[in-house]
Amino acid sequence: MIKKYWKDFLSLIYPNVCYNCEVALVEGEEKICLRCFRDFPLTHYHEMESNPLLQSTSGNLKVKGAFCYMKFNKAGIAQKLLHELKYKNNASVGLLLGEWFANYIKEDLLAADIDAIIPVPLHKNKQRKRGYNQSEVITRGLNKVTGIEVLNDVMIRTKNVSSQTKKGKVDRWQNVDALYMLENVKVLDGRRVLLLDDVITTGATIGTAAEVLAESEVQEIYLGCIASGK
């Protein structure tokens, strides 16, 4: 009882507020108030006949579908949440995003018989600096809701992007081929995999990762992201 009063007392001094509208949160709400939660700019991409996320992977025959949670608008809610996750050392937001996303696409994941989730890896230097791979944190939330296994040790990022951004466009494309590498590929045999990145902008990064993944004996690949500007 005293613990509860103490908690109420603390929330008077440090109220938990909605990341989006800053209204004080009530019990049962986490990070986001119910009103903002209901207003999430959901994409419904996976229900569309021409899924915008699949345009850049049309040459990859193993890619069968793509899921995206929210539309990425400047200063929009997806940007705010992902900013917390990536630059404010707030991994708990990533876990929640993964859980919410899982609830959004759960039936479709099960219908597609997806049996593994792979986070798009960060280069080890970048991961060390951030303390975690934000996409991996999101996959933990997905796993919590769906029970689908996360394969965190099959894909490696071999190059740090900062060494590439200085180069020209053509160079960059050639370089991108060697961005990812697979390890422990046996575990991929016959699997239906959801490849997950936090954000998809042009689709080039996840498209490259999907190409590398397709070289294994993986059966089907689905792309997933929390937000996309497409």
CA distance 75 to 194: 28
Among 33, 53, 105, 212, binds Zn ion (CB under 5 A): 33
Q: Which CB, 1 or 75, lies closer to Zn ion?
A: 75
Q: Please report how close the Cβ of residue 39 comes to Zn ion at its closest, in angstroms.
A: 8
Cα distances (Å, whole numbers) of residue 57 to 65, 203, 229: 10, 8, 16
Q: Are 192 and 185 a contacting pair, CB within 8 Å?
A: no
* Shortest reach from residue 92's CB to Zn ion, in Å: 17
Interstrand relation of 155-157 and 180-182 (parallel, antiparallel or unpaired): antiparallel
Nearer to Zn ion, 20 or 56 (CB): 20
Residue number, 82 or 218, with CB nearest to Zn ion = 82
The amino acid at 56 = S
> Do 185 and 217 touch, CB atoms closer than 8 A?
yes
* Binder among 6, 9, 15, 21 for Zn ion (CB under 5 A): 21
Please tell me whether residue 36 binds Zn ion under the rule CB under 5 A.
Answer: yes
Angle between helices 77-87 and 134-146 (to 10 degrees): 110
Question: What is the nearest approach in angstroms of Zn ion to the Cβ of residue 21?
Answer: 3
Rounded to whole angstroms, how far apart are CA atoms 138 and 126?
17
- Least Å distance between CB 76 and Zn ion? 13
Binding-site member from 18, 78, 120, 188 for Zn ion (CB under 5 A): 18
Residue 178 in the binding site for Zn ion (CB under 5 A): no
Burial class (CB within 10 angstroms; exposed 0-12, middle 13-18, buried 19+) of 113: exposed
The answer to whether 120 contacts Zn ion (rule: CB under 5 A) is no
Q: In whole angstroms, how close is the CB of 125 to Zn ion at the nearest point?
A: 36
Q: Which stretch binds Zn ion (CB under 5 A): 35-43, 105-113, 138-146, 186-194?
A: 35-43
Which region, judged by CB under 5 A, interacts with Zn ion, from 1-9, 20-28, 162-170, 216-224? 20-28
Residue 20 within binding range of Zn ion, rule CB under 5 A: yes
Count of residues interacting with Zn ion (CB under 5 A): 5
Residue closer to Zn ion (CB basis): 20 or 57: 20
Torsion angle, CA of 195/201/203/206, rounded to 10 degrees? -30
Asked whether 186 and 180 are in contact (CB, 8 A), the reply is no
**Of 33-41, 78-86, 114-122, 130-138, which part binds Zn ion (CB under 5 A)?**
33-41
Centroid of chain to Cα 152: 13
Q: Which residues bind Zn ion (CB under 5 A)?
A: 18, 20-21, 33, 36
